[in-house]
C-alpha cells in the first residue's frame, strides 16, 4: 500500500473543509427557507395544515392550532366544500404534492350572514309588497266600520286598527331595510315631531299605567322628520313592550335632550325589563322581543347614521339608549 504524501494529505484536508463549509451553507440555506415558509404560512389569513401521508401534522400556523378540533372533521377532496364548526362556517380547500397534503380553512361566517340577510331582505320585501294592498283595504274598511259600529263594540274596532297599524309599521320597516335609508333633510320643530309621537303612543296597545316624559325645550332639528318619527317610535314601542313584561303595574318612559358641540343628543330611558342578549341588538331579523321583527333597532341605527349620528346602548345605572343626530 502506497503512503499518502503531505501534499495529498493537505489537499484532502482542504477538500474536507470545503465540503463541510458547503454542507453548513446548504444547511443554513435550508433552515432559512424553512423559516421563510413557516412565516409565509403564519402570515396567511386562513388556517393552514400540511400533513404527512400518515395524517400527522408536518406544519401548521397558529390559526390552525386554535382549530385543532376542526382538523378532525376534514378530509382531502377534489373540490372545495363547506364545514360548520362551533357556530361558524368554513370554506375548505385541499391539495396534495408527493407525500404531503395541504388543507386550508377560511372563515366565511360573515359572508354567509350577509348573503342570508340579502336573501331574507328580498323575500321580506316581496311579501311586504303582497301584503300592503290587503292591509290598506282592511284599514279603510275598519275606518268605515268605526263610524257605524255600536258603542259597546267600538273597543274591538279600535283594537283591529292598532293591529293594522302595527303591520303597516312592519311593512314600512321591511321595505326600507331592503331599499336602504336615504334622508331628505329639512328644518322642523321638535314639538311637531313630539305631537306625532304622542299619536303613535295612543295607537300602540298597552295595559299598564305608563308615564311618558318628553323634552320641554324648544329647538329645531335639521333632519328627515318621517325617518326620525320611525326612529323614536321604534324606541318607544320597545320601551312599552319592556314595561308590559315587567312585574310592576306602572312604568316610566323618558326622553332627555341636550345639545353638545355639533350634535343633538337624546337619551331614552325606560323602567321595563332588562335586555337579555345585548350582542344581537343590532342584528337584522334577530329580535330580543317575543313579538319583534328584528329590524327596529337596525333601522334606527341606520337612520341615525344617515343623519351623521349614532345609536348606542347605555351602560349606566338607568336602562336606555343614546341617540345622536348631527346639528
| CATH classification at residue 146 | 1.10.287
Report the largest interatomic distance among the alpha carbons of the chain, rounded to a whole angstrom. 134
Domain count, the chain: 3
Q: In sequence order, which residues have a C-beta less than 8 Å from that of residue 297 and are 6 or more positions away?
A: 234, 238, 281, 282, 311
Question: Which of 154, 180, 206 is a domain's end point?
Answer: 180
For residue 244, the model assigns a pLDDT of: 92
Mean pLDDT by 10 residues, the chain (327 residues): 73 79 75 68 83 87 89 86 90 88 90 75 72 83 86 85 76 72 91 91 84 94 92 92 91 95 95 84 66 74 93 90 95
Question: Which of 108, 133, 157 is a domain's end point?
Answer: 108
Strand 209-213 versus strand 250-260 pairing type:
parallel
Q: What are phi and psi of 102, to 5 degrees?
A: -110, 130
Rg (alpha carbons) of the chain, rounded to whole number = 33
Domain membership of residue 191 (yes or no) is: yes
Residue for grid cell 329590524? 295
Q: List the grid coordinates of 163.
A: 293591529
Say whether pTM exceeds 0.75: no
| Same-domain check for residues 97 and 129 | no
Question: Which of 165, 180, 195 is a domain's end point?
Answer: 180
| Same-domain check for residues 212 and 85 | no
| Same-domain check for residues 213 and 297 | yes
Q: What is the pLDDT of residues 193-249, one digit of tens each?
A: 999 999 888 877 788 999 999 999 999 999 999 899 989 998 998 999 999 999 999
Domain that holds residue 307: 182-327
For residue 78, the model assigns a pLDDT of: 79
Distance between CA atoms of 72 and 198, rounded to whole angstroms?
A: 59
For residue 181, CA distances in Å to 26, 74, 187 come to: 63, 42, 19
Which domain CATH number covers 208? 3.30.565.10
Domain membership of residue 1 (yes or no) is: no
| Same-domain check for residues 174 and 186 | no
Amino acid at each position: 500500500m502506497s503512503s499518502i504524501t503531505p501534499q495529498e494529505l493537505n489537499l484532502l484536508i482542504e477538500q474536507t473543509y470545503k465540503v463541510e463549509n458547503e454542507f453548513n451553507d446548504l444547511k443554513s440555506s435550508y433552515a432559512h427557507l424553512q423559516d421563510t415558509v413557516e412565516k409565509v404560512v403564519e402570515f396567511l389569513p386562513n388556517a393552514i395544515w400540511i400533513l404527512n401521508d400518515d395524517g400527522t401534522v408536518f406544519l401548521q400556523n397558529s390559526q390552525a392550532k386554535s382549530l385543532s378540533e376542526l382538523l378532525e372533521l376534514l378530509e382531502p377532496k377534489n373540490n372545495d366544500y363547506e364545514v360548520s364548526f362551533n357556530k361558524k362556517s368554513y370554506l375548505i380547500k385541499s391539495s396534495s404534492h408527493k407525500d404531503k397534503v395541504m388543507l386550508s380553512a377560511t372563515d366565511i361566517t360573515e359572508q354567509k350572514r350577509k348573503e342570508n340577510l340579502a336573501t331574507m331582505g328580498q323575500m321580506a320585501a316581496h311579501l311586504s309588497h303582497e301584503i300592503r294592498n290587503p292591509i290598506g283595504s282592511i284599514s279603510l274598511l275598519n275606518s268605515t266600520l268605526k263610524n257605524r259600529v255600536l258603542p259597546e263594540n267600538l273597543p274591538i274596532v279600535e283594537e283591529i286598527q292598532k293591529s293594522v297599524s302595527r303591520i303597516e309599521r312592519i311593512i314600512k320597516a321591511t321595505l326600507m331595510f331592503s331599499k336602504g335609508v336615504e334622508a331628505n333633510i329639512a328644518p322642523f320643530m321638535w314639538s311637531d315631531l313630539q305631537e306625532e309621537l304622542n299619536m303613535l303612543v295612543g295607537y300602540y296597545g298597552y295595559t299598564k299605567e305608563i308615564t311618558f316624559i318628553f323634552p320641554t325645550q324648544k329647538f329645531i332639528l335639521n333632519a328627515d322628520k318621517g325617518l326620525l318619527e320611525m326612529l323614536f317610535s321604534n324606541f318607544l314601542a320597545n320601551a312599552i313592550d319592556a314595561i308590559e313584561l315587567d312585574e310592576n303595574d306602572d312604568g316610566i318612559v323618558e326622553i332627555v335632550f341636550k345639545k353638545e358641540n355639533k350634535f343633538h343628543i337624546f337619551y331614552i330611558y325606560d323602567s321595563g325589563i332588562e335586555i337579555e342578549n345585548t350582542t344581537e341588538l343590532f342584528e337584522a331579523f334577530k329580535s330580543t322581543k317575543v313579538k319583534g321583527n328584528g329590524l327596529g333597532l337596525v333601522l334606527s341605527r341606520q337612520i341615525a347614521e344617515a343623519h351623521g349620528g349614532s345609536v348606542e346602548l347605555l351602560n349606566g345605572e338607568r336602562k336606555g339608549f343614546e341617540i345622536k343626530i348631527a346639528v
